[in-house]
Amino acid sequence: MTPQETERGGASSGNIKATREDWTNAALETLIVDGIERVKILSLAAQLNVSRSSFYWYFTSRNDLLEALLDHWHETNTAAIVTAAQRPVPTVTSAVCQIFECFLDPALFNNRLDFAIRDWSRRDANVRRKLLASDAERIKALTEMFVRYGYVPTEALIRARVLYYMQIGYFDAGLDEPISQRQSFTADYVLTFTGQRPTAAEIAQLDAALARIFPDASA
């Protein structure tokens, strides 16, 4: 009897204790904390306190699981940036504030996962291709955002790239900076990225969103 057949028998008798989501979440956390080399079926099974055969109820192989991790990353992190860039708001300054909110909200954009994928891409050409495609998709959405507000295409592209790479680099720098200090720079950041100063109402709206995201921080 194959592992898949064994596990199907367990499913019918209610013996499966780990779902596909459990396996995926355990693999994601391992990827983030320990790196791709530690994402192994046996160690994940031990974490979940289930048999190795449970894995094969949901995935055909370790590679199948790894593809699921990449899909999850694209459907969360990349989709969040694209969605934020496409949201209709009246001004470009408000639009950039929404991009800031997206990058800072871990429920929308998991920066730890993003850097785990970037680290993985240094070891795997297929992941590297997917990372570059994702970066291009994100920058395209940001470029189109700037174009909607009247910037010519070349300028829109450069502003999009500066905005995007600054946000990614901010995480990579690992700055020990309170969110309140970063908030104090918001208006000047927006001015730098757009050439326009945001209104007090736009800053207040972003501050309110960040207060919900960081309830324990003192603004």
CATH code: domain of residue 27: 1.10.10
- 77 vs 113: CA distance, rounded Å: 9
Instruction: Give the end of a domain, one of 19, 43, 60.
Output: 60
Encode 38-54: b = buried (16+ Cβ within 10 Å), e = exposed.
Answer: ebebeebbeebebbebb
Q: Do residues 16 and 45 both lie within one domain?
A: yes
Q: What is the mean pLDDT of residues 113-119?
A: 97
Q: Do residues 163 and 69 both lie within one domain?
A: yes
pLDDT in tens, 153-164: 999 999 999 999
Q: What is the mean pLDDT of residues 21-27?
A: 97
Q: What is the pLDDT, as a whole number, of residue 1? A: 36
Token pair of 195 as six digits: 């050439």
Q: Do residues 95 and 200 both lie within one domain?
A: yes
- Asked if pLDDT for residue 109 goes beyond 60, the answer is yes
- Asked if pLDDT for residue 71 goes beyond 80, the answer is yes
Instruction: Give the end of a domain, one of 28, 60, 92.
Output: 60
Q: Which of the 8 DSSP states describes residue 162?
A: H
Instruction: Give the end of a domain, one of 43, 60, 77.
Output: 60
Cβ(142)–Cβ(60) below 8 Å: no
- pLDDT over 90, % of the chain: 84
**How many independent structural domains does the chain possess?**
2
- 12 vs 54: CA distance, rounded Å: 13
Cβ(200)–Cβ(99) below 8 Å: no
Q: Do residues 28 and 69 both lie within one domain?
A: no
Q: What is the pLDDT, as a whole number, of residue 216? A: 81
- Asked if pLDDT for residue 4 goes beyond 70, the answer is no
Q: Do residues 47 and 138 both lie within one domain?
A: no
Q: Do residues 53 and 108 both lie within one domain?
A: no
- Asked if pLDDT for residue 3 goes beyond 70, the answer is no
Q: What is the pLDDT, as a whole number, of residue 5? A: 39
- Asked if pLDDT for residue 10 goes beyond 50, the answer is no
Q: Do residues 17 and 82 both lie within one domain?
A: no
- 121 vs 115: CA distance, rounded Å: 10
Weakest-pLDDT range from 113-122, 154-163, 175-184: 175-184
Q: Do residues 42 and 67 both lie within one domain?
A: no
Three-class secondary structure of residue 11 per DSSP: helix
In what helix (H) or strand (E) does residue 210 lie, and over which residues does it extend?
A: helix 200-213
Residues spanned by the domain of 47: 1-60
Q: What is the pLDDT, as a whole number, of residue 175? A: 77
Cβ(91)–Cβ(200) below 8 Å: no
What residue type is 159 in one-letter code? Answer: R
Q: Do residues 132 and 199 both lie within one domain?
A: yes
Q: What is the mean pLDDT of residues 202-219?
A: 87
- Asked if pLDDT for residue 14 goes beyond 60, the answer is no
Q: Do residues 50 and 158 both lie within one domain?
A: no
Q: Do residues 121 and 39 both lie within one domain?
A: no
Q: Do residues 49 and 66 both lie within one domain?
A: no
Mean pLDDT of the chain: 91
3-class secondary structure for 71-111?
A: HHHHHHHHHHHHHHHHCCCCCHHHHHHHHHHHHHCCCCCCH
